[in-house]
Amino acid sequence: MASNSTLVKELREKTGAGILDCQKALTESGNDIEKAIEHLRQKGLAAAQKKAGRETNEGLISAYIHPGSRIGVLIEVNCETDFVARNEEFQAFVKDLALQVAASNPSFVKREDIPAALIEKEKQIYQAQAKEMGKPEAAWGKIVEGKLEKFRQESCLLEQAFIKNPTVTIKDLLAQKIAKIGENMSIRRFTRYQLGHE
């Protein structure tokens, strides 16, 4: 069995949590890494939820130009104070988000941003596909809902798997950063430019 320090190191790499938090999570989960990750995620989400109502009027606008200069991203991420906006960890987080937008090409920040008309259009397309594939009509609802959920996950930045650690969504990563830095943060908006594309 892995030594405690090895487990702490592995847990820190997977979650970005502090040493003491990792030790405590491992103790409470009987050295079960998966349970410890779940514990830290819940703790991070709980801490993030406590801060969710606080205003975020400071922050950064960051630019990322992909090598080859064919893709560029502008992103605005907000926090509560200019002190945190100058924090290296916050700045690195914003850069990671810009990289995520460049690589994964989301269309929206969160699922609530998707226009109802677009959801309706996608529903009709998925229903037509299910019909075309000869699926029984009784199964169409389930098929459409499954495809819609996948569409939301791919289209919304917060729902996407983080390119540097696919076991974590951007929403989870945001919660971890809020818990670690101790301020509410929000991803306000982004624009992705691709040469020759609207």
Which fold, 115-154? GTP Cyclohydrolase I; Chain A, domain 1 (1.10.286)
Question: Where does CATH 1.10.286 sit in the chain?
Answer: 115-154
Instruction: List the CATH code of the domain at 58-110+156-194.
Output: 3.30.479.20
Question: Where does CATH 1.10.8.10 sit in the chain?
Answer: 4-51
pTM of the model: 0.69
- CA–CA gap between residue 181 and residue 188 (Å, rounded): 18
Instruction: List the CATH code of the domain at 4-51.
Output: 1.10.8.10
Residue by residue, pLDDT tens for the chain (198 residues) are: 456 778 877 777 666 666 777 788 888 888 888 887 777 666 665 455 555 555 667 889 999 999 999 999 999 999 888 888 898 999 999 999 999 999 999 999 999 999 999 999 999 998 888 888 887 888 888 888 999 999 999 999 999 999 999 999 999 999 989 888 888 899 999 999 998 876
- For the record, the structure tokens of 123 come out as 């529903």
CA angle 90, 95, 100 (to 5 degrees): 125
- For residue 98, what is the enclosing H or E element? helix 88-104
Cβ contacts of residue 88 below 8 Å, gap of 6+? Answer: none
Dihedral sign (CA 11, 14, 19, 23) = negative
